[in-house]
Amino acid sequence: MKTRNNLPMPVTTSVRRAWTAARLGAVMTAAMLSGCQLDSIVQATDPDIIDPAFIRSASGADGIRVGTLGRFSANTTGGESMLLYGGLMGDEFTTGDTFTQRIETDQRSLTPENGNITTAYRGIHLVRIGSLQARDALRQFPQATGNEWRIAEMYFVEAYMINLLAEHFCSGQPLSTLENFQETPSPRISTDSLYLLAQARIDSGTAVLLPALTTGNDVRVRNALLVLRARIALNQGNFTLASTAANAVPTTYTWDQEHSLIVRTPGAWSFVNNQRRYIVSNDEGPLLMGFANATQDPRVPTCAPGTGGFNAAACTAAGFTTVRPFDSGNNSVPNSRYQLIWETDSRNVSLINGLQARLFEAEAQNRLGNFTSAALPLLNAVRATPPAYVLPGRTITGLGPLADPGTPDARRALVFREKGFWLFGTGHRFGDLRRLQRQYGLTQTQVWPNGTWQLNRVPGYGTDVNFPTPAAEANNRLIPQTSPGIPACIDRNA
């Protein structure tokens, strides 16, 4: 599914402001073209917000859906979303920035006032509310054909954002709603309950898609729902459900988010390669995921420019020649390490796909005690024939087969290592790190980056294993506060 961000959007405060600005610009232009006859141009009769009549139609309802998909793209693969922040707090990226907000995220020592995280948090809810508005509009003004998959698609979008919220933030997140521009605040909801709600949205979306609908968009949306169902089931520890849902999706399936310089560049390209505020990590943390120096692994290609730089020729070919990151004057910050998965500003990003289904299925089968009979063959099948969408526009040569490492701990480590390399930069790693602690019994120091940070910079790493509720939620009267202006989580556990 390709989405663009320059299409109609749900009616929200930000849209109202944008509409007002556009109208003011139009008035000024009209003034210049009419010789500044202000007595005529100030007699505006149209309201300065979107006229509800514009969206009270089947085309208007679909416009809200498409606008929601644009925001969905912006707040997942097309911006600095939790897909990047989770990788920064985990072991995929380290910061090359001077900004405190990214530094404290990388250090696992977050404050609720962190403005960057607040923006990403609001983005989750903006998309979630948009999906509700779109569903309501599609029901009220149905499409002549294909109304079912459009409604199911919005259930998928809502479930995805609820799961993203649950995977990254502390237990106790509200799901407030908006009705006629009036907010209905929500109390805190536990992480377990968020996963239940997300699965319920999957159920609703699946129910809309009648079994007889077996082609085109119906199949595309049904597969997206199934892959997401498997991901949420892993978070819930329901490995039978995870395996069953994932097994129904073909490996060739992909939901692509469209990106380009004029639409929206991939977030990883923008913040790692273009702005150099992120650096691909190498062996950050006890799991020793050598993302940056994996010379024998083509799934996470990277490069460092300059004389003697790692894979420097690839950097030169891609046009990346700056050695130092954004914080170029601080010798404690490592040199830039560019990612080459999305090596241009126009690479699409596969957000949901059949590869994820195979990896979810492999983890579930390992937990069900079927490593040699099911999990290992699944891992080796995708290694032998890597899906084309892993490196957009290029081909990965097949990887050699893995051998059974023999012990339960080594098998678990192998499964998560494979997931880490296949799914790099796509928002899965943070949830996996939390589950390694929560479900597999590893300690915090066995999972998360800890101790000395970067090149002996002080202070070192903190102890956060999730993101706190942003201070912006302090205006929610249903959430208690630990101190004035600081919303209280139910807990900060993994």
The pLDDT of residue 13: 35
Dihedral sign from CA coordinates of 188, 431, 102, 177: negative
The residue type at 412: R
Check if the beta carbon of residue 38 is closer than 8 Å to that of residue 117.
Answer: no
Check if the beta carbon of residue 249 is closer than 8 Å to that of residue 354.
Answer: yes
Winning range, highest mean pLDDT, from 54-63, 254-263, 474-483: 474-483
The pLDDT-based confidence of 51 (bands split at 50, 70, 90) is low
312: left (phi over 0), alpha (psi -120 to 50) or beta: alpha
The pLDDT of residue 54: 65
Does residue 432 sit in helix, strand or coil? helix
Q: Cβ–Cβ contacts within 10 Å for residue 283, how many? A: 14
E-strand spans in 405-485?
Answer: 481-483
The pLDDT of residue 494: 97
Cα–Cα distance for residue pair 75/121, rounded to 1 Å = 9
The pLDDT of residue 3: 42
* Domain extent for 154: 1-24+54-213+428-494
The pLDDT of residue 53: 62
The pLDDT of residue 43: 52
Q: Percentage of the chain surpassing pLDDT 90? A: 83
- Tell me the average pLDDT across 416-422: 97
Cα–Cα distance for residue pair 167/427, rounded to 1 Å = 10
- CATH number of the domain bearing residue 118: 1.25.40.390
The pLDDT of residue 180: 75
DSSP state of 52: G
Closest CA to 206 of 227, 191, 189: 227
Cα–Cα distance for residue pair 172/218, rounded to 1 Å = 34
Phi, psi of 38 (to 5 degrees): -65, -25
The pLDDT of residue 343: 95
The pLDDT of residue 68: 97
Closest CA to 206 of 151, 246, 287: 151
Does residue 214 sit in helix, strand or coil? coil
The residue type at 304: A
Whether 268 is in a domain gets the answer no
What are 93-111's pLDDT values in tens digits?
999 999 999 999 999 999 9
Q: Which residue reads 């299409």 in tokens?
A: 7
Check if the beta carbon of residue 467 is closer than 8 Å to that of residue 169.
Answer: yes
Q: What is the CA radius of gyration of the chain?
A: 23
Dihedral sign from CA coordinates of 333, 337, 341, 343: positive
- Tell me the average pLDDT across 402-426: 98
What are 309-354's pLDDT values in tens digits?
999 999 999 999 999 999 999 999 999 999 999 999 999 999 999 9
Beta bridge partners of 93: 280
The pLDDT-based confidence of 34 (bands split at 50, 70, 90) is very low
Structure tokens at 208: 């809309």
User: Does the pLDDT value for residue 210 go beyond 60?
Assistant: yes
What are 230-267's pLDDT values in tens digits?
999 999 999 999 999 999 999 999 999 999 888 789 99
The pLDDT-based confidence of 418 (bands split at 50, 70, 90) is very high
Whether 345 is in a domain gets the answer no
Whether 163 is in a domain gets the answer yes
Whether 469 is in a domain gets the answer yes
Cα–Cα distance for residue pair 264/74, rounded to 1 Å = 7
Cis? peptide before 459, omega within 30° of 0: yes
Q: Percentage of the chain surpassing pLDDT 70? A: 88
Distance of CA 238 to the CA centre of its chain: 22
The pLDDT-based confidence of 52 (bands split at 50, 70, 90) is low
Check if the beta carbon of residue 474 is closer than 8 Å to that of residue 188.
Answer: no
How many residues can be counted in the chain? Answer: 494
The pLDDT of residue 76: 98
The pLDDT of residue 211: 76
Whether 307 is in a domain gets the answer no
Cα–Cα distance for residue pair 32/34, rounded to 1 Å = 6
Cα–Cα distance for residue pair 304/314, rounded to 1 Å = 9
Q: Cβ–Cβ contacts within 10 Å for residue 144, how many? A: 6
Whether 406 is in a domain gets the answer no
User: Does the pLDDT value for residue 14 go beyond 60?
Assistant: no
**318, 343, 388, 389 from 254: Cα distances, Å:** 26, 19, 10, 7
- Tell me the average pLDDT across 182-198: 96
Q: Cβ–Cβ contacts within 10 Å for residue 348, how many? A: 18
Structure tokens at 338: 């560019």
* E strand or H helix at 257: strand 254-257
Whether 3 is in a domain gets the answer yes
Structure tokens at 79: 């911006």
- Tell me the average pLDDT across 444-463: 95
Structure tokens at 176: 């407030």
**12, 60, 201 from 140: Cα distances, Å:** 19, 11, 19
Phi, psi of 459 (to 5 degrees): -70, 170
User: Does the pLDDT value for residue 375 go beyond 80?
Assistant: yes
User: Does the pLDDT value for residue 40 go beyond 50?
Assistant: no
The pLDDT of residue 430: 98
Whether 483 is in a domain gets the answer yes
Domain count, the chain: 1
